[in-house]
Amino acid sequence: MLAVGETIIRAFAVTDSSGIYLADTWKFVGRISSVLVQDTLLFVSTEKDQLWICLISDSLDISLLSIIDFASRPQAMMIVDGRLVAFARNDMFVFDYSDPESPIRDTVITLPVPVLGAIRRDNKLYTVGPLGVGIYDLDGVIPELVECGGRPGSILDVEGNVLATTNGGAIHIYRLSEDAQPTPPPEPLPYSFVLSQNYPNPFNSGTSIDYSLPTPSRVSIVVYNILGQRVITLVDEEKPAGDYTAHWDGSNRSGDHVASGVYFYRLEAADFINSKKMILLK
C-alpha cells in the first residue's frame, strides 16, 4: 500500500494478521504529479518534467532504473497493451519499457485537448483536464475524439455509463450517452499569463491590448501617465481562463481625451504583474 506526499512515497506492508506497518519511505526530486505501479516497477512523474522508473524489491526498497525527460510535466500514466502511456499537456507519449533501464519512445500523439488525468475502459479513453472531459475511441490507430465537455478537473473514474471527476473541491458525476457523436474540441487555454504589446502603437484614436489567463483570475489593467498617475482603469473584474482584448480610446476617468505622450499600462492577475509602454500621437 502506498501513500503519496508532495515529494515522498510511503510504502506500507500488510501482515498476515491484517496489521499494517511502515516499511520504507521513498524520496524524489520535485513534487510528485502521478504514480503508477506495474508488477515490481514503480513509475513516478515529478514537477521537474521527469518520469522515474524504479524497481521495487521484496523488502520494499527501491532502486532507480532510468529517468525519462519531458518538455513539460507528465500528469497521468497508464499501461496499455504492454506499453507505458504518459500524458503531458496535449501530448500522449507511448514507451516500450520491456527494458526498463533503457525505455524506448515508440510514438507521440497530439490530442486536441490537454490532459491532467486519464483512464481506459475497453476501447474508450477518458481524459480530464483544464478544458473538461474528453472521450476518445481507440478502435483506430490514432485516438478519435468523440465527445468533450464538462468541467475542468484532474482525477476521474468510470463505471458503466457513469463518469466521475473532481477538481479537488467537488466531485462531478456525468452520465454518458451511448451514441456519442464526434465533437469539435474547444479552443485550447493558454498555458501562462501573457501581456502583449498594444496595437497599433503609436496610436491616435484608440488601441487594443491583448492578454491571456491560464487560470480564472481577478484582473486589473490600469493606464498610467509618465508621472505614474493613474489615468483610467480598463479592466477590474474576475475573468475565467482564456484570451482577452482590452481597448483604450485615449480618454481618462472623466471621459476627457488626454494629451499626446508616453503612457504605461499594467496588468495584475493572480501573482502575475507586467507593464508595457505605449505612445499616443495626435
* C-beta of residue 231 within 8 angstroms of C-beta of residue 258: yes
> What average pLDDT does the segment 188-216 reach?
87
* Residue-by-residue DSSP string for 9-68: EEEEEE-TTS-EEEEEEEE-SS-EEEEEEETTEEEEEETTTEEEEEEEPTTS-EEEEEEE
- What does the alpha-carbon distance between residue 84 and residue 98 come to, in Å, rounded to a whole number? 10
Position with higher pLDDT, 177 vs 80 = 80
What is the predicted pLDDT for the residue at 189? Answer: 62
Provide the grid cell at 152: 475542468
pLDDT tens digits along 28-65: 888 888 899 999 999 999 888 889 999 988 888 889 99
* C-beta of residue 64 within 8 angstroms of C-beta of residue 57: no
How far, rounded to the nearest angstrom, does the alpha carbon of residue 104 sit from its chain's CA centroid?
A: 25
Average pLDDT of the chain is 86
Do domains 1-115 and 194-280 share one topology? The answer is: no
- What does the alpha-carbon distance between residue 92 and residue 111 come to, in Å, rounded to a whole number? 7
DSSP state of 187: P
Provide the grid cell at 172: 462531478
Position with higher pLDDT, 104 vs 19 = 104
Provide the grid cell at 266: 499594467
Assess whether pLDDT exceeds 60 at residue 185: no
Count the alpha carbons within 13 Å of 10 in the hemisphere toward its beta carbon.
Answer: 7
Closest CA to 192 of 167, 168, 217, 209: 217
Position with higher pLDDT, 81 vs 225 = 225
Given the candidates 1.10.240.10, 2.60.40.4070, 3.30.1360.170, 2.40.320.10, the CATH classification of the domain at 194-280 is 2.60.40.4070
- What does the alpha-carbon distance between residue 142 and residue 155 come to, in Å, rounded to a whole number? 23
Assess whether pLDDT exceeds 90 at residue 268: yes
Assess whether pLDDT exceeds 70 at residue 255: yes
Please provide the CATH number assigned to the domain covering 1-115: 2.130.10.10
> What average pLDDT does the segment 125-130 reach?
87
What is the predicted pLDDT for the residue at 182? Answer: 45
186 band by pLDDT with thresholds 50, 70 and 90: low
139 band by pLDDT with thresholds 50, 70 and 90: confident
pLDDT tens digits along 66-120: 999 998 888 889 988 889 999 988 899 999 999 999 999 988 999 888 888 888 8
- What does the alpha-carbon distance between residue 166 and residue 185 come to, in Å, rounded to a whole number? 21
Every domain of the chain and the residues it spans: 1-115, 118-186, 194-280
